[in-house]
Amino acid sequence: MVAVSVDGAHRFSKTKVESIDLVAGFGAAGDAHAGVTVQHRYLADKDAAAPNLRQVHLLHEEFLDEVRDAGFDVPAGGLAENILTAGVDLLGLPTDTVLRLGPDAVVRVTGLRNPCNQIDSYRPGLQALCYGVDADGRRTRRAGVMGVVEQGGVVRAGDAVDVVVPAGTPRPLDVV
């Protein structure tokens, strides 16, 4: 892991910190998006009792490198991610992939982050870079993945990220 970030308020960016405490079935302790039920404001307005499949947001540092190359200054935590990784093809993982983070924590990948309009409020023009087009001409999302905490633990920058792909036929990630 490159960095970890958290924010207790419903603001766009999160603050880079030394460590975060991931709580099983809940998310990052002290984070506004942690909870058993959906905490994302738009989704909560639709169904506040829905399970929270977006407890933790993971983003690959390589994406931040791309947006920096395009002229956007985005620090760790800037795109509201809790965990910034490097060298892990997050977008290529199948649904239900298990990520072992540090010595104890386990996060199950539930799907893709759907980039919202707040990204352009944060840095005008940045939202467009959060989308791509695949070989079949379909719109793709590039702003990281979401997950749920299966096993808690404290995670820090520098901790290992071990990927365990589920057995069977892989299910591609979809927006959660």
Is residue 171 one of the residues assigned to a domain? no
pLDDT at 45: 86
Q: Please give the residue that has the higher pLDDT: either 117 or 145.
A: 145
Is residue 175 one of the residues assigned to a domain? no
Is residue 18 one of the residues assigned to a domain? yes
Question: For residue range 133-148, what is the model confidence (pLDDT) as tens digits?
Answer: 999 999 999 999 999 9
Strand 139-141 to 131-133 pairing: antiparallel
Is residue 79 one of the residues assigned to a domain? yes
pLDDT at 42 over 90: no
Q: How far apart are CA 31 and CA 55, in angstroms?
A: 9
Is residue 176 one of the residues assigned to a domain? no
Is residue 173 one of the residues assigned to a domain? no
pLDDT at 50: 94
| Contact present, 46 and 56 (Cβ < 8 Å) | no
| Contact present, 147 and 108 (Cβ < 8 Å) | yes
Question: For residue range 48-83, what is the model confidence (pLDDT) as tens digits?
Answer: 899 999 999 999 999 999 999 999 999 999 999 999
Is residue 55 one of the residues assigned to a domain? yes
Question: For residue range 32-41, what is the model confidence (pLDDT) as tens digits?
Answer: 999 999 998 7
Range 67-84 burial, b when 16+ CB lie within 10 A, else e: beeeebebebbbbbbbbb
Give the chain's domain count.
1
pLDDT at 40: 83
Domain that holds residue 86: 3-164
pLDDT at 87 over 90: yes
Is residue 115 one of the residues assigned to a domain? yes
CATH label of the domain that carries residue 45: 2.40.33.20
Which token pair is 28?
Answer: 């990052």
Region 115-141: mean pLDDT is: 94
pLDDT at 149 over 90: yes
Region 88-104: mean pLDDT is: 98
pLDDT at 5 over 90: yes
C-alpha closest to that of 105 among 37, 30, 172, 162? 162
Confidence category of residue 131, pLDDT binned at 50, 70, 90: very high
CA-based radius of gyration for the chain: 15
Confidence category of residue 172, pLDDT binned at 50, 70, 90: very high
